[in-house]
Amino acid sequence: MRREDPSSEVTDPLRGPGPILGLWSVTADSKLLEVSAALLPDFLVIDTQHGAHVARLTTETFGAIAFYEVPALVRVPSIDPADIGRALDLGAAGIIAPLVNDAEDARLAALSCRYAPDGIRSYGMQTPRIDPFADDYRPLCVVQIETAAAVDNVDEIAAVDGVDWLYVGPADLGLSIGGVPAPDVISVFDGSHPLAGPMQDAFRLVVEAADRHGKLAGLHCSGGEAARQLLAHGFGVTAVATDLGAALKGMANELKIARG
């Protein structure tokens, strides 16, 4: 079942006010991608930084997702125009650029999503599903705020034309700020994480910068409850589960029940 037609008042739901709730795939497995898309999340991310290699992606990777009209984003391995272009050529609706430290990094990511004269993307579209020269074609450009340097430069990053979301990676951000990852953002919000204070300050700075420049602020999280809490703290975007994590949790729970 495909998603219903969007409201005429919202021309691009991924650039709307939120909340925007997605799912995350580290496997790029076509069956898991189809099952994930069938749940009709607001977006689906294929992770090629810590998951499948970007070279494994094909137009078929995006086929089942497209049937459900779920926008598919690719987290690329780095801010490499070739990797960004390849993901978009295969049919991604946008990209997530990791480890963006300053406005120069953000600008490179944004320019890599656009053709000349507005950018540096090379032409090589691989799917007829997308007309890259349509008036409404504009790939989503998401930059990750996950280092202390990025937080220091977050206002300049948010001001870059073509950047749509500032998406916080709390694990790497915790490592950068004080050597302790913070993948469980609930521990940051409730103060139990050893870096809760500086992490909360960083979260606030990202949300404020996004608001000032008309961008969306996102925060990666570990589950539905964490998603509820981060939305209450001013963030508008998150991925609420990963395919591998959900499979592991589900199978472990069923084994536990069976074994008594």
Helix (H) or strand (E) run with residue 97 in it: strand 94-97
Closest CA to 34 of 238, 243, 240: 243
Helices (H), the chain: 30-38, 59-67, 81-90, 103-111, 148-152, 154-158, 170-178, 185-189, 196-212, 224-232, 243-259
Spatial separation of the C-alpha atoms in residues 125 and 86, rounded to whole Å: 9
53 in catalytic set: no
- Sort strands 72-75 and 43-47 into parallel, antiparallel or unpaired: parallel
Cross-strand partners of 141:
95
Residue type for 81, please? P
**For the residues of 216-249, what is the DSSP string, one character each?**
EEEE--SSHHHHHHHHHTT--EEEEEEHHHHHHH
Name the active-site residue from 50, 53, 220, 233.
50
Cross-strand partners of 115:
121
- Sort strands 216-219 and 72-75 into parallel, antiparallel or unpaired: unpaired
Spatial separation of the C-alpha atoms in residues 147 and 168, rounded to whole Å: 9
DSSP secondary structure code for residue 74 in this structure: E
CA-atom Rg of the chain in angstroms: 18
Whose structure tokens read 């694990």? 171
- Residues classed as catalytic: 50
